[in-house]
Amino acid sequence: MTVLTAQTAQPEIAYKRKGSGPNYVLLHGGMGSWNHWARNIDALAEHYTVYAIDHPGYGDSPDVDKEMSGEDYRGLVCRAIDTMLGADASFHLTGFSFGSVLSSCIAARFGDRVKALSLIGSSGYGKPEGRDIGTRSYKSAGDDEAKFRDIVRNNLLAFMLTNPESIDETAIDYHGANVRRTRFDSRKVSWGDTQRLDLPRITCPLQIIWGYQ
């Protein structure tokens, strides 16, 4: 398996591509993959060429150097987008949670190439303090598959989804597989205080979406 480093000049990443028209790049959240956008891709593909990527160290993308810093990782993702689309290509961009921090970095660095940016449940405002949302450790399941799936359900309800009815077996399958294929600690990026630096540099139209409970 290829291992990407901070010095990798043209990093290759895995992605799902669908549709035609202007480019639209989707960046998933922590412990995720392209399938965070499983219910969005078809609708967007009616108007855009959609790229739903697996971040480096996630899903089917190559591993990354385990010692890589959050800032080096952000630079790596920027180069990966350039490699995927081509250095002069313009695109629309949406990021969810962990992906929102990466998206703001991309938009700040790429300037007018980014035509519009949406941030969903964005992080990147420093390490959260005094917060307990009730997530459980996946490692505590050991080899007990039923317990692992119960933890997946619990954590989806604690952190991502409000309606218990939306956490069906497919959602558990998707998230469980994503957890097991996570090889980079997204907190190196998500807990950084980078949004206050990136957001003022963004020149394209910006939309920020927050859910609530």
Dump pLDDT digits (tens) for 109-131: 999 999 999 999 999 999 988 87
Q: Measured on CA atoms in the order 189, 105, 99, 195, is the torsion positive or negative?
A: positive
CA distance linking residue 56 with residue 54, whole number of Å: 6
Q: Which domain holds residue 200?
A: 3-129+185-209
Q: Is the pLDDT of residue 1 over 60?
A: no
Q: Please report, for the chain, how many H helices and E strands are present, in that order.
A: 7, 8
Closest to 98 (Cα-Cα) out of 3, 178, 42, 170: 178
Q: Using one digit for the tens of pLDDT, what is the confidence trace for 93-112? A: 999 999 999 999 999 999 99
Instruction: State how many domains the chain has.
Output: 1
167 occurs within a structural domain: no
CA distance linking residue 184 with residue 188, whole number of Å: 9
Q: Using one digit for the tens of pLDDT, what is the confidence trace for 7-51? A: 999 999 999 999 999 999 999 999 999 999 999 999 999 999 999
CB atoms within 10 A of CB 70: 19
Residue 44: CATH number of its domain: 3.40.50.1820
Residues 42, 44, 46, CA angle at the centre, nearest 5°?
75
102 occurs within a structural domain: yes
CA distance linking residue 126 with residue 117, whole number of Å: 21
At 53 the three-state DSSP class reads strand
pLDDT at 153: 96
CA distance linking residue 112 with residue 204, whole number of Å: 7
20 occurs within a structural domain: yes
9 occurs within a structural domain: yes
145 occurs within a structural domain: no
